[in-house]
C-alpha cells in the first residue's frame, strides 16, 4: 500500500511537471533581451495551483513573462509578429499543410437491417388478411466532405534581428503586462497563473483573508470535492473548480503557506511597534 507521504510526494512531482506553459522561443530572448525588475518579498504567486515562495523577480523574457525564472505566461505576443517587422527580404513565410476538420457525426441507416425488415414484412403480408401499409424507405443521407482548414503561416527570420519602431512598440505591450503583474504583487496582492484559464487576481485585503483560511482547508479536507465545498463556504468564490483541483493537488504546500502567514504577521507586528514608538527604535 502506498503511504500518505508517498502519495503527496507524487502529487508534488506531478504539479512541478505541470508548471510548464507554452514554450517561449529562446531566439526571442536573444533578439529582444530581458526586462527584469528588482526582487521583492510581497504578494503571493501560484502557478497551476502550486505556491511559489518569495522573493519574487518579475521579468519579461523575450516574448513572455517569468517569475523567478518560471514562465507564468506563454508568448504574450507571438514571435512571428516580431519577425514580420523585419525587412521582407530577410523573412520567409512558411505555409503549413492544410488540416481537414473532423466531419460532423451523421446518422446513417444500415441497408442490410432494413432489407431484413422488409423481407419479414413481406412474409407477414403473405399470410395476413389485412396487410400493413408498406414502410417507406428512409431518405438517403448526403455526407459532405470536410473543407480543408488552413493553419496560420509561420515566419522565419534569415539573418540578424534588427530592432525598429514597430518591434519596440510590441515589446512595450509585453513590458506593460510585466509592470502590471509586478505592481499587483508589490502591493501585497495574489495572482493564480494557469496555462488553461485566465489568471485570477486579488488585492492585499483579499490575499490576507485567503491566507487566513486556505492552508488549513488544504490540510484538513480529505478529498478534492470536500475541498471545493469548503473553499466556497469560506467565501473564496474566485477559486473555480479547476483551480481548486490544482490547489488541492499541491496540498503539501499548506505548510509553506502557514509559514508565510506567520512571517507576514510578525512583520506587521514589528511595523506596528515601530510606528507606536515613533521610530525611536531605529
pLDDT, the chain, mean: 82
How far apart are the C-alpha atoms of 251 and 100, rounded to whole Å? 42
Q: Please give the pLDDT value at position 134.
A: 58
Looking at the predicted structure, is the pLDDT value of residue 78 above 80? yes
Q: Please give the pLDDT value at position 241.
A: 94
* Residue located via cell numbers 534581428: 161
pLDDT band with cut points at 50, 70 and 90 for residue 272: confident
Looking at the predicted structure, is the pLDDT value of residue 154 above 60? yes
The pairing of beta strand 190-194 with beta strand 44-47: parallel
Q: Please give the pLDDT value at position 2.
A: 41
Positive or negative: CA dihedral 269, 270, 271, 276:
positive
Name, in order, each residue with C-beta under 8 angstroms of 230's C-beta and a sequence gap of 6 or more.
217, 220, 221
Report CA dihedral (182, 185, 188, 191) to the nearest 10 degrees: 150
More confident residue, 109 or 248: 248
Query: Are residues 56 and 40 in contact, defined by beta-carbon separation less than 8 angstroms?
Result: yes
pLDDT digits (tens, 9 = 90+) for 197-234: 899 999 999 999 999 999 999 999 999 999 999 999 99
Query: Are residues 100 and 158 in contact, defined by beta-carbon separation less than 8 angstroms?
Result: no
Kindly state the average pLDDT of the residues 56-80.
96
Q: Please give the pLDDT value at position 277.
A: 72
pLDDT digits (tens, 9 = 90+) for 84-129: 999 999 989 888 876 545 555 544 444 444 444 444 454 455 445 5
Kindly state the average pLDDT of the residues 136-142.
58
Kindly state the average pLDDT of the residues 223-247.
96
Q: Which among 241, 198, 181, 238 has a CA at the least distance from the CA of 43?
A: 181
Q: Please give the pLDDT value at position 113.
A: 43
pLDDT band with cut points at 50, 70 and 90 for residue 181: very high
Query: Are residues 216 and 234 in contact, defined by beta-carbon separation less than 8 angstroms?
Result: no
Query: Are residues 67 and 56 in contact, defined by beta-carbon separation less than 8 angstroms?
Result: yes
Report CA dihedral (163, 180, 259, 241) to the nearest 10 degrees: -110
More confident residue, 77 or 111: 77
How far apart are the C-alpha atoms of 112 and 98, rounded to whole Å? 37
Amino acid at each position: 500500500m502506498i503511504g500518505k507521504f508517498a502519495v503527496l510526494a507524487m502529487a508534488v512531482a506531478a504539479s512541478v511537471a505541470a508548471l510548464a506553459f507554452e514554450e517561449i522561443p529562446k531566439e526571442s530572448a536573444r533578439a529582444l533581451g530581458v526586462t527584469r525588475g528588482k526582487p521583492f518579498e510581497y504578494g503571493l504567486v501560484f502557478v497551476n495551483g502550486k505556491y511559489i515562495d518569495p522573493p519574487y523577480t518579475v521579468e519579461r523574457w523575450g516574448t513572455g513573462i517569468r517569475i523567478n525564472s518560471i514562465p507564468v505566461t506563454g508568448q504574450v505576443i507571438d514571435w512571428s509578429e516580431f519577425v514580420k517587422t523585419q525587412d521582407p527580404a530577410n523573412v520567409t513565410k512558411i505555409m503549413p499543410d492544410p488540416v481537414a476538420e473532423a466531419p460532423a457525426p451523421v446518422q446513417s441507416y444500415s441497408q442490410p437491417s432494413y432489407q431484413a425488415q422488409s423481407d419479414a414484412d413481406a412474409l407477414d403480408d403473405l399470410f395476413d388478411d389485412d396487410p400493413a401499409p408498406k414502410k417507406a424507405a428512409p431518405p438517403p443521407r448526403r455526407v459532405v466532405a470536410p473543407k480543408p482548414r488552413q493553419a496560420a503561416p509561420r515566419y522565419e527570420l534569415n539573418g540578424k534581428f534588427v530592432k525598429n519602431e514597430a518591434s519596440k512598440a510590441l515589446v512595450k505591450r509585453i513590458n506593460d503586462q510585466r509592470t502590471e503583474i509586478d505592481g499587483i504583487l508589490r502591493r501585497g496582492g495574489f495572482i493564480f497563473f494557469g496555462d488553461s484559464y485566465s489568471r485570477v487576481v486579488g488585492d492585499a485585503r483579499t490575499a490576507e483573508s485567503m491566507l487566513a483560511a486556505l492552508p488549513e482547508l488544504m490540510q484538513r479536507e480529505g478529498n478534492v470535492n470536500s475541498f471545493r465545498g469548503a473553499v466556497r463556504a469560506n467565501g473564496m468564490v474566485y477559486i473555480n473548480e479547476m483551480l481548486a483541483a490544482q490547489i488541492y493537488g499541491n496540498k503539501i504546500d499548506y505548510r509553506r503557506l502557514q509559514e508565510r502567514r506567520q512571517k507576514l504577521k510578525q512583520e506587521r507586528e514589528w511595523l506596528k511597534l515601530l510606528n507606536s514608538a515613533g521610530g525611536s527604535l531605529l
